[in-house]
């Protein structure tokens, strides 16, 4: 049994064994700055498996699709009926050429060699963190980080978040900055009661918070 889903996504029942591999048609844009989180659209021919319930007369389509840039798995934000996978690549990749890989829910894959090129970026000189008061373990709170220096106001990249030994913070990679400022919720767990949050980018620029109490 075959069922055509919109324009490009063809559905084949799970009983079928000779499913074609997905094919990546294009990656847009094909180039990004190392210092700027970038929305990416992967246009692919996706042959999607489906479960057919003949008693109910329904077809359940498995639309799961994941994207990797090199070894970095990026979030799948949407999969359109036309086979376009929307994602966002954080600014954690060094300049270079990266393969783009799509994996469907049943494990079939497609790779576009050198599908994304990362070029040199423009980074701030460092980061400052707004003062942090006492916090509770595993309770979300708002963190504000500000880029500093000549390129600060234009910075729209991501930074890595860390605490000291014996502690964890989530997320480990921040959301993108907006015009040089990051404001987002974080959660910390630590065996230490005095904690510092540090931020770094892939170019080596960094910043650190005040020492605050974690209860």
Residues 115 and 142 in one domain: no
pLDDT for the residue numbered 170: 97
Residues 47 and 148 in one domain: no
pLDDT for the residue numbered 136: 97
Over the chain (215 residues), the average pLDDT of each successive run of 10 is 37 56 96 98 88 78 91 95 94 98 93 98 97 98 97 96 94 97 98 96 98 97
**Helix/strand number for the chain, H first, E second:** 0, 22
CB 19 within 8 A of CB 11: no
Residues 88 and 151 in one domain: no
Residues 181 and 101 in one domain: no
pLDDT for the residue numbered 2: 34
At 32, list the tokens.
């990004």
Among residues 101, 119, 137, the one where a domain terminates is 119
pLDDT for the residue numbered 38: 98
pLDDT for the residue numbered 18: 66
Residues 102 and 11 in one domain: yes
Give the DSSP letter of residue 152: G
Among residues 119, 150, 166, the one where a domain terminates is 119
CATH number of the domain to which 38 belongs: 2.60.40.10
Instruction: Please enumerate in sequence order all residues whose Cβ is within 8 A of that of 99, keeping only pairs 6 or more positions apart, or say none.
Output: 69, 70, 111, 112, 113, 114, 115
Containing domain of residue 159, as a range? 126-213
Q: What is the sign, positive or negative, of the torsion defined by CA atoms of 23, 114, 84, 48?
A: positive
Report which secondary-structure segment, H or E, holds 52. Answer: strand 47-53
d(CA 118, CA 108): 26
Q: Enter the pTM of the model.
A: 0.84
pLDDT for the residue numbered 49: 74
């Amino acid at each position: 049994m075959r069922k055509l889903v919109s324009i490009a996504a063809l559905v084949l029942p799970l009983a079928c064994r000779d499913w074609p591999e997905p094919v990546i048609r294009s990656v847009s844009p094909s180039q990004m700055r190392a210092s700027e989180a970038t929305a990416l659209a992967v246009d692919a021919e996706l042959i999607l498996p489906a479960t057919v319930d003949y008693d109910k007369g329904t077809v359940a389509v498995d639309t799961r699709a994941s994207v990797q840039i090199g070894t970095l798995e990026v979030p799948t934000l949407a999969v359109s009926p036309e086979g376009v996978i929307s994602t966002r690549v954080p600014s954690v990749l060094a300049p270079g050429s990266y393969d783009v890989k799509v994996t469907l829910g049943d494990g079939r894959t497609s790779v576009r060699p050198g599908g994304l090129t990362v070029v040199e970026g423009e980074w701030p000189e460092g980061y400052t963190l707004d003062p942090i008061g006492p916090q509770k373990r595993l309770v979300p709170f708002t963190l504000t980080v500000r880029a500093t220096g000549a390129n600060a106001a234009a910075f729209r990249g991501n930074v890595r978040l860390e605490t000291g030994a014996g502690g964890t913070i989530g997320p480990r990679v921040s959301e993108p900055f907006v015009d040089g400022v990051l404001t987002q919720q974080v959660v910390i767990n630590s065996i230490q009661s005095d904690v510092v949050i540090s931020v770094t980018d892939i170019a080596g620029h960094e910043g650190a918070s005040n020492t605050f109490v974690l209860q």
